[in-house]
Amino acid sequence: MKKAIFKITAASILLAALDQLSKVWAIRNIDHIFNNGVAFGIAIPKILLIGSTIALLIGFTIVAFREFKITGRLAQIAMSLIIAGGFSNLLDRFTYGAVVDFINIKIWPIFNIADVYIIVGVVLIVAFYERLMRNPKRSS
């Protein structure tokens, strides 16, 4: 269990650091926006946004540790991606007052690498839910 926690923590820190570096690069080199809201730029008061992000990260982590087989590689990857993405976007809110978005594929609102981490982590959980569960329910 301690080894799994270490792996998740180390991977989350590394992924968040890579995302932060990508945002520094974007600010210096390419067109970017500072998104004050949430997904698709939906406006929410800053204090509520920061508080809910922290609560969601803590809540997700608690539920994941209770429900998932965290010694499994897939659970570690999914958890690391979601934690890193959420934490990195939270760091943006403290550093810049908004999230730095810079990936523009024209058919979708502008986003960042942390957003990709979160989406991929969630997709992994949804796609492999039974495999991730500590005590999956067996259907006859």
In a domain, 137, yes or no: no
In a domain, 93, yes or no: yes
pLDDT of residue 48: 86
In a domain, 139, yes or no: no
CA dist 137 and 140 (Å) reads 10
Residue 19 annotated to the active site: no
pLDDT of residue 139: 47
In a domain, 40, yes or no: yes
Rounded CA Rg of the chain: 16
Task: List, in order, residues 6 or more apart from 105 with CB less than 8 Å away.
Answer: none
Task: List, in order, residues 6 or more apart from 107 with CB less than 8 Å away.
Answer: none
Active-site choice (19, 31, 92, 101): 101
In a domain, 23, yes or no: yes
In a domain, 31, yes or no: yes
Q: How many domains does the chain have?
A: 1
Which tens digit of pLDDT belongs to each residue from 43-73?
777 888 889 889 999 999 999 988 898 888 9
Q: Is the pLDDT of residue 140 over 50?
A: no
pLDDT of residue 31: 93
Main-chain dihedrals φ then ψ at residue 45, nearest 5 degrees: -55, 135
* Domain encompassing residue 25: 2-132
Active-site choice (19, 31, 92, 115): 115
Residue 31 annotated to the active site: no
Start-end of H helices in 30-104: 46-67, 73-96
In a domain, 41, yes or no: yes
In a domain, 113, yes or no: yes
